[in-house]
A and B are shown apart, each in its own frame.
Chain A
Amino acid sequence: EVQLVESGGGLIQPGGSLRLSCAVSGFTVSSNYMSWVRQAPGKGLEWVSVIYSGGSTLYADSVKGRFTISRDNSKNTLYLQMNSLRAEDTAVYYCARALGGAAFEIWGQGTMVTVSS
């Protein structure tokens, strides 16, 4: 069964760090275009980052220099390392697969990150 399961969210103080994980089953993470998308409470969807099958990465301007997307092929897991967290990073974070780099056709259930003192 194709499945994405996020973990690692929680309450963190401003300026802190957190690493999110997305465990993938049913397909190989290294062969796919994988992204993180977030949704602030009561707000819409915001694309955060992508890692291509070749390993190159891109980020939204709002997180560039603070967040790092990566993957562990042996664990078939996607990660998002989040540093220098701000209150505006508070959101549910989803991992998603986009076949051909287009539509996000598989989504995880999301993990909540709350940045607050």
Chain B
Amino acid sequence: EIVLTQSPHFQSVTPKEKVIITCRASQSIGSSLHWYQQKPDQSPKLLIKYASQSISGVPSRFSGSGSGTDFTLTINSLEGEDAATYYCHQSSSLPHTFGQGTKLEIK
């Protein structure tokens, strides 16, 4: 099973700040890495697919990069509505696995 390790686990940030969340895979997964945003009492929402591909309707301040084992999700100019937990997910091999999540708190 591929283990995904996210960091940080928690971050308190101010609006307009730039945020970088990292996700490291226990073995190479190519670009089969996806990012989700989950707000309290809501379903996860896909933000980025295949490491860096944007999703229609997702604000352009969200971007992704990386390949192999190291990936990043960047949120430029954070807004108050971005308070949520963010998960990475790999689809390179079964079982699908998720990172443990990164909770963003807006100050």
Chain A residues near B (Cβ < 8 Å): 35, 44-47, 50, 58, 60-61, 94, 98, 101-105, 107-110
Chain B residues within CB distance 8 Å of chain A: 32, 34, 36, 43-46, 49-50, 55, 87, 89, 91, 94-101
Contacts of B95 in A (CB 8 A): 47, 58, 60-61
Please judge, given known A-B contacts A44-B98, A44-B101, whether A103 and B43 are in contact too, CB under 8 Å: no
What does DSSP make chain A's interface, helix, strand, loop or mixed?
strand
Query: With A102-B49, A103-B50, A107-B43 given, is the CB distance from A44 to B100 under 8 Å?
Result: yes
Bound complex: CA A50 to CA B100 (Å): 21
Which of A60, A61, A105, A108 touches B46 (beta carbons < 8 Å)? A105
* CB <8 Å contact, B43 and A47: no
